[in-house]
Amino acid sequence: MAGIGEEVAHLLDALGVDRAAWTGGSMPSHSPLTGEQVASVRVADAADIDAALNRASAAFRAWRNVPAPRRGELVRLFGEELRAAKDDLAKLVTIEAGKIPSEGAGEVQEMIDICDFAVGLSRQLYGLTIATERPGHRMMEVWHPLGVVGVISAFNFPVAVWAWNAALALVCGNSVVWKPSEKTPLTALATQAVFARAVARFGDAPAGLSQLLVGGREAGEALVDDRRVALVSATGSTRMGRAVAPRLAQRFARAILELGGNNGVIVAPSADLDLALRGVAFGAMGTAGQRCTTTRRLFLHDSIYDGFVAKLKAAYASVGVGNPLEGEVLVGPLIDRAAYETMQEALVAARAAGGVVHGGGRVGEGASYYVRPALVEMPGQVGPVLEETFAPILYVMRYDDLDAVIEQHNAVAAGLSSAIFTTDMREAERFLAAGGSDCGIANVNLGTSGAEIGGAFGGEKETGGGRESGSDSWKAYMRRATNTVNYSDALPLAQGVSFDLG
């Protein structure tokens, strides 16, 4: 390896990753910054997967009996190790996923934040005491650890999404087996090495509590189909979700699905337009359009359309595109050639549907794929506007009636993130009401990207319905038991049922 490969080697060594894991393997790892191969990763075979699941099952049986606050201590130590490793891990995220440095650092910070959240949660895994109709009885619900949790993550958030799941799963008393994207195995190896340092400091965690399965589709299918795995949290495309969900349902396993997002923003006449411009620009261009929460549809009121589009065009034309390690840029590369080709196909379809395309061309040549973000003025919500393209394409449309545009906003298959920019309280509340946005995330005066870990993350419809991270998402990683205790010397039955043996 040369050039950026040397930097990768330095980072992996600094993060404590065993060289045998990323040299001499059968899976090539490429950086989207240059397109060059930077590692060759060892892939888990069927025997490795079986052994990992056996270890995870044994680890769960031991870990479930550890008091939850003690489990939280392991996650607290992991957060400390992440703080110490933040700069190196963030740079590796930039190199492997193509994010600009602030986004790479932000992703690691998100891991630290969810650790903090989970540590507090470890003392709040509470149930309810429930009123009972039977005298001399007490009824309550309790929450118990669930089992082995499988995590299948995507390239665009190569470490944060695992952390959302793992931090909660661990404090809830579960073991974790992680299958990362084939496009980002190095950050997963590094994260696992950081976690191992926390385990060493903790001292008495069972072996196999958190494990990594590097591989292709076969590794993911093993997690989905194996009865030793109680829950699979899968992040990826809707197509992937359609394959995963029925296979899990067939064996009555649990699923947390975080799938596609065709996210829309409405800008009303009363909006603070400078605020809206910044929110739309980041939402549409951040991470080179490769977020599930990326803004992909923009509805502008007729009265502000021309002026707002002119400002957007100027922003799109001036935004820095390039290697995030070599200059002050805001838009890094697409992950690979396939992503670039998919983007170009969508732009061709947009033109065929009557759209006017601004930008979207390739920047530079070679084995990396940098593009100028595309702004596409569409005559209506037709053709490619109805589909999610994982690239920086923003479709812009006019509207003149709020109720009609909310209906149009909701007329897509996915339901992840949404936003309205307005200073009219009635418009804001209409958007947030039951008849407003049908998405799992609905914002007022901020964009569709940048969710905080304190709120449950996820969406409806073809987004999959799963929830991760904050609020009460922890309940998905536990099983609920309703307990009734009879402390009387009688045996009254509920609903007045009589069963007298005489």
Q: Could you tell me where the beta strands, DSSP code E, fall in 168-223?
A: 175-179, 210-212
Q: Are strands 456-457 and 468-469 parallel, antiparallel or unpaired?
A: antiparallel
Residue 360 near residue 373, CB atoms below 8 Å: yes
Which residue's entry shows tokens 């006017």?
356
d(CA 166, CA 149): 8
Output the pLDDT for position 24.
Answer: 93
How far apart, in whole angstroms, are the C-alpha atoms of residue 128 and residue 142? 7
| Nearby residues of 248 by Cβ (< 8 Å), 6 or more positions away | 224, 232, 254, 255
Asked if 115 and 159 count as a contact pair (C-beta separation under 8 A), the reply is no
Return the CA Rg of the chain.
25
Burial class of residue 304 in the structure, from the number of CB atoms within 10 Å of its CB (0-12 exposed, 13-18 middle, 19+ buried): middle
| Residue of 157, 48, 35 whose CA lies nearest to 106 | 157
**Residue 501 φ then ψ, to 5°:** -80, 0
State both tokens at 282: 């980041």
Mean pLDDT, to the nearest integer, of 406-433? 98
pLDDT tens column, 126-157: 999 999 999 999 999 999 999 999 999 999 99
* pLDDT value of position 420: 98
Task: Report the C-alpha gap between 58 and 360 in whole angstroms.
Answer: 51
Catalytic residue among 73, 110, 258, 462: 258
CA distance 24 to 45: 15
Q: Do 255 and 234 form a contact (C-beta atoms < 8 A)?
A: yes
Structure tokens at 94: 């930039």
Mean pLDDT of 10-24: 97
Confidence of residue 450 (pLDDT cuts 50, 70, 90): confident
pLDDT at residue 440, as a whole number: 98
Q: Which among 115, 172, 292, 439 is annotated as catalytic?
A: 292
Query: What tens digit of pLDDT does each residue of 277-291 get?
Result: 999 999 999 999 999
Query: What integer pLDDT is reported at residue 3 of this predicted model?
Result: 85
Residue 499 token pair: 């069963």
Instruction: Give the separation between CA 415 and CA 441, rounded to whole angstroms.
Output: 8
Q: Tokens at residue 184, please?
A: 């980002």
Q: How far apart are CA 78 and CA 375, in angstroms?
A: 42
Q: Are 99 and 56 in contact (CB under 8 A)?
A: no
Strand partners, 266: 299, 420
292 given a catalytic annotation:
yes
Residue 479 half-sphere exposure toward CB, CA atoms < 13 A? 14
E strand residue ranges, 201-347 = 210-212, 229-235, 254-258, 263-267, 295-301
Q: Compute the distance between CA of residue 134 and CA of residue 138 in angstroms, rounded to an integer.
A: 8
Listing DSSP states for 114-161 in one string gives: HHHHHHHHTT-----EE--SSTTEEEEEEEEE--EEEEE--SSSTTHH
For residue 270 the two structure tokens come to: 């009363």
Contacts of 4 (CB under 8 A, 6+ apart): 31, 33, 34, 36, 38, 95, 325
Interatomic CA distance for residues 444 and 454, integer angstroms: 17
Mean pLDDT across 80-94:
98
| Euclidean distance between CA atoms 359 and 320, whole angstroms | 13
Average of per-residue pLDDT values in the chain:
97
What's the pLDDT score for residue 327?
A: 86
* 32, two tokens: 């989207």
Per-residue pLDDT tens for 460-487? 999 999 999 999 999 999 999 999 999 9
pLDDT at 2 over 60: no
Say yes or no to pLDDT of 1 above 50: no
Q: Which residues contact 140 (CB under 8 A, 6 or more apart)?
A: 127, 128, 129, 130, 482, 483, 484, 485
- DSSP lists the bridge partners of residue 468 as 457
Amino acid, single-letter form, for residue 166: A
For residues 3 and 269, the model is more confident at 269
Return the pLDDT at 97: 98
Residue 354 has, within 13 A of its CA and on its CB side, a CA count of 8
pLDDT of residue 492: 92
> What residues contact residue 454 under an 8 Å CB cut-off, 6+ apart?
117, 469, 470, 471
Q: pTM here? A: 0.96
Tokens of 55: 């270890």
